[in-house]
Amino acid sequence: MPTKKKPQATPAPERRGELLATAAEVFAAQGYNATTVRRIADAAGMLAGSLYYHFDSKESMLDEILSTFLGELWEGYDAVLGAGLGPRETIEALVTESFREIDRHRAAVAIYQKEARHLAAQPRFQYLVESQERFEKAWLGTLERGVADRTFRADLDIRLTYRFVRDTVWVAASWYRPGGQHSPEEIARQYLSMVLDGIALRH
């Protein structure tokens, strides 16, 4: 009687997620080019050969880290942009959603900031360019709408304002730590108060 072949084991999704989280932290701390598969395996407490059971390359790990982050970001952004909110409310919701993503994917945000420009030149990471173009269009469009309906000041340089708000929000990934003193929503509220209302007392 022929013996049945054992079904090939598939990696547990939980373990895969843990390994990606570890890889993201290593990439964020050391840079993608300087990180080896062995370094990620060491951080995960396993042999480098065992890591290849889950991923075929460090490039695949990076791809999954960035595409997962951007997929979640756009899920949140699209919900905001499709909600029919006014310009100020849209900016408030986008900033809040951005801080929630920093909370969920701090290491991925740090990697994106450091690596996106040179990765975008590779066909595999072309989606980074497309995402950046969508991101810019969403923010600039909202600011332009706010100037047009007099929600925002008419003398605003739209592109400069966009860059200021974008950089002010996303640089927070360099210091933010999940589970800290302030929730992402509270940090967003404070940022929005400073951006939209200023820090000087009104007399």
Distances (CA, A) of 60 to 67, 69, 96: 10, 14, 30
**pLDDT at position 23, please?**
97
Helix, strand, or coil (residue 169): helix
Taking alpha carbons only, the member of 176, 18, 193, 203 closest to residue 92 is: 193
User: Helices (DSSP H) in the chain: which residue ranges?
Assistant: 13-30, 37-44, 48-51, 58-81, 87-104, 106-119, 126-148, 158-170, 184-197
**pLDDT at position 10, please?**
53
Residue type, 168: T
Mean pLDDT by 10 residues, the chain (203 residues): 47 85 96 96 93 93 97 97 97 97 95 94 96 97 97 95 94 88 94 89 73
**pTM of the predicted protein model:** 0.88
**pLDDT at position 203, please?**
66
